[in-house]
Amino acid sequence: MKNVRIPFFRQSTPVVAIILLVSAVSAAMAQDKSVNPGINKTFENPEVGEFVERFETEGRDAFDHRHEIVAACQLQPGMTVADIGAGTGLFTRLFAKSVGPEGRVYAVDIAENFVKHIEQTAQAEDLKNITGVVCGPDAVNLPDGSIDVAFICDTYHHFEFPGKTMRSLHRALKPGGQVVLVDFHRIEGVSRDWILSHVRAGQEVFTGEIVECGFRQIEEHPDLLEESYLVRFEKLPADAR
């Protein structure tokens, strides 16, 4: 087992220390096992056209509020953005226009079909600042210190190895870089059955996992979307974790 950070505790709090130490060790051990086996089977060889109809259509929360989401990302010309789980490239294309020709957008996805589609679409629309990246199930495959913002929309709940993936993203971000997370509210008795059966956990769990990987929450938009939340995180330096 590697990279297990054991915090210092005063002797007056042995019970708390033991509980947190066990939690840290359990989290580290869990990295060797998928938290949701089979969740990405659909994306092993996706039919892109079918997903364009699903992802880029009225009635999908993220599509209906796409412009509000982009505004909440607070992008500036010249920035480098990674669209993690880019899918059919809806937000990749919007980000490419936001950061301008001096900026860069990495379209990152585990499905090579999606990445090729995004590259072809970018070429057809003369968006020359888009680069496709096929990632692995536990790493984003981006150079260290290469991006200003990472965007994760309706994708975090598909991370089979969230700890490893977020730590790889932490390395890819520049100092002070940010993560924008959009995912579904998962609330028993409130959320749709599909969300309850498909999304493994709610906002509190996902936020805790991300914070554990070296980030701090800096902003939240719980009501920007109909059935999802948007949260921004900032990368902490290694000595602040």
In the chain, domain spans:
1-30, 36-240
Give the per-residue pLDDT at 23: 45
Closest-CA residue to 165 (of 142, 188, 131): 142
Q: How far is 230 from 191, CA to CA, in rounded Å? A: 16
Per-residue pLDDT at 16 exceeds 70: no
CA nearest to 158, candidates 25, 46, 23, 28 = 46
Structure tokens at 192: 């749709």
- Mean per-residue pLDDT of the chain: 89
Q: Is 188 helix (H, G, I), strand (E, B) or coil?
A: coil
| Full-model pTM | 0.86
Residue 121 is predicted with a pLDDT of 97
Whether residue 173 contacts residue 147, with contact meaning beta carbons closer than 8 Å, is answered with yes
Q: Averaged over 30-39, what is the pLDDT?
A: 85
Contact predicate 125/118, CB 8 Å: no
List b or e across 148-160, with b for residues whose CB sees 16 or more CB atoms inside 10 angstroms: bbbbbbbbbbbbb
How far is the C-alpha of 84 from the C-alpha of 100, rounded, in Å?
Answer: 19
User: Is 185 or 2 the better-scoring residue by pLDDT?
Assistant: 185
Express each pLDDT in 173-224 by its tens digit. 999 999 999 999 999 999 999 999 999 999 999 999 999 999 999 999 988 9
Domain with residues 36-240, CATH architecture: 3-Layer(aba) Sandwich (3.40)
Tell me the C-alpha distance between 175 and 145, whole Å: 7
Residue 132: per-residue pLDDT: 98
| Alpha-carbon span 133 to 115, nearest angstrom | 7
Alpha helices in 157-216 (DSSP H): 162-172, 193-198, 203-212
Report helix angle 112-124 to 90-99, nearest 10: 50
pLDDT at 86 over 50: yes
Give residue 226's pLDDT band: very low, low, confident or very high (50, 70, 90): very high
Mean pLDDT score, 147-155: 98
- Residue 241: pLDDT over 80: no
Place 125 in a pLDDT band, splitting at 50, 70 and 90.
very high
90-111 average pLDDT score: 98
Task: Give the count of beta carbons closer than 10 Å to the beta carbon of residue 241.
Answer: 14
Here the tokens at position 107 are 């379209």
Helix, strand, coil percentages in the chain from 3-state DSSP, rounded to 5: 40, 20, 40
The type of residue at 73 is C
Query: Which pLDDT belongs to residue 31?
Result: 62
Spatial distance between the Cα atoms of 24 and 183, rounded to a whole number of angstroms: 25
